[in-house]
Amino acid sequence: MKFIVSSTLLLKQLQAISGVLSTNNTLPILDNFLFELTDSQISISASDLETTMTSRISVDMSEGEGSVAIPAKILLDTLKTLSDVPVTFDIADDNFAITLMAGEGKYKLAGQDGQEYPQVPPIESDTSFDIESDILFHAITKTIFAASTDDLRPVMAGVYCELGPDHTTFVATDAHKLVRYRRTDIKTAEGASFILPKKPLNQLKHILVQDDLPVTVEYSDTNARFTFKNIILTCRLIDGRYPNYSAVIPANNPNKMTIERVPFLNSIRRVSIFSNQTTYQVKFKIAGSELTLSAEDLDYSNEAQERLNCHYDGLDMEIGFNSKFLLEMLNNLETEQVMLSMSEPNRAGLITPVDSENEEEEILMLVMPVMLNS
């Protein structure tokens, strides 16, 4: 088996899929890329058993067909040092020894039989939908930061995808914060729901361009597959029942504060420097058209206070929030103004964008309050 391919093209594809590779694989062969040659095209795969990414590229020349597992690290490190030159791969049929030739260099390394590489699980269902790559990119970016990192609650360690005839909803929560991202322009005739793990979503986020190229999403009870340009990502879904997120979103929030997002964000960032570095608590005191932000760390005698103008409709209120959560949320919104809707100092606050340019996009961010120091 033999083929010639551009070093730059190959390196770009390997880097796109290499994020799937794990540093503590149970199967040693998963430390390799799987190369499969058919006609004048190679499919390159990386897997950690839970997630598999495959990229297809055309080669300049090929002889024979077959598959070989090539050590990932040494191949990546070698290609990074090369300029844009044709690289010849010559694989022995008997022992899978690999000879690389690039320019004046000749390199040898040991490969393995590609037949021993774990197979990608089939999607045993014909259910699928198409979504534009920029929409999927935003859905992932605006939700994934809110997913839980607690291994004891695996169902919350991913993004919940809910399909329906009226809209498609993406939800992530860790019980302290929640994000619901809804699109009214993505609809499916049949309702369905599944939980996508964070690792494959992070891989998707890195390869999706913010363009309107289509991504085909196929799913079954156990797996999902994303097909985008020349890349296919297959992942195992998180098994379990997602909590009823709608129940924790307060319906009646009469106290509404509208404020410029960027000054609000910067003010929280400055004040939080002086907060307790365990709770990151920032106190909001809202009265009339003025918001006073304050924080203190009694252990180090640190404190800070800032005043901001806002538009407020409601009763005067003092409420505390974890500044880290607020900063994450405000960083993931793009509108000039945001609205903070509240009911009581011990109830969740809702952050929503004001005057969003996209009418088909609906974002709701929920943050739980923290108890104020007396």
- Please count the other Cβ atoms lying within 10 Å of the Cβ belonging to residue 355: 7
- What residue spans in the chain does CATH classification 3.10.150.10 cover? 2-116, 130-176+184-240, 249-370
DSSP state of 48: -
Structure tokens at 40: 């004048």
Structure tokens at 201: 């979503």
What pLDDT score was predicted for residue 209? 75
Is CATH 3.10.150.10 the right assignment for the domain spanning 2-116?
yes
Taking the C-alpha atoms of residue 212 and residue 136, their distance in angstroms, rounded to an integer, is: 10
Taking the C-alpha atoms of residue 360 and residue 45, their distance in angstroms, rounded to an integer, is: 36
Structure tokens at 249: 């979103």
List 173's β-bridge partners, or say none. 178
- CATH class of the domain defined by 249-370: alpha beta
What pLDDT score was predicted for residue 292? 97
Question: Among 3.10.129.10, 3.40.50.1000, 3.10.150.10, 3.40.50.720, what is the CATH number of 130-176+184-240?
Answer: 3.10.150.10
pLDDT in tens, the chain (374 residues): 999 999 999 999 999 999 999 988 889 999 999 999 998 899 999 999 999 999 999 999 999 999 999 999 999 999 999 999 999 999 999 999 999 999 899 999 999 999 999 999 888 887 899 999 999 999 999 999 999 999 889 999 999 999 999 999 999 999 999 999 999 999 888 889 999 999 999 999 999 876 778 999 999 999 999 999 999 999 999 999 999 999 999 999 999 999 999 999 999 999 999 999 999 999 999 999 999 999 999 899 999 999 999 999 999 999 999 999 999 999 999 999 999 999 999 999 999 999 888 889 999 999 999 987 65
- Pair 54, 43: CB distance under 8 Å: yes
What pLDDT score was predicted for residue 212? 78
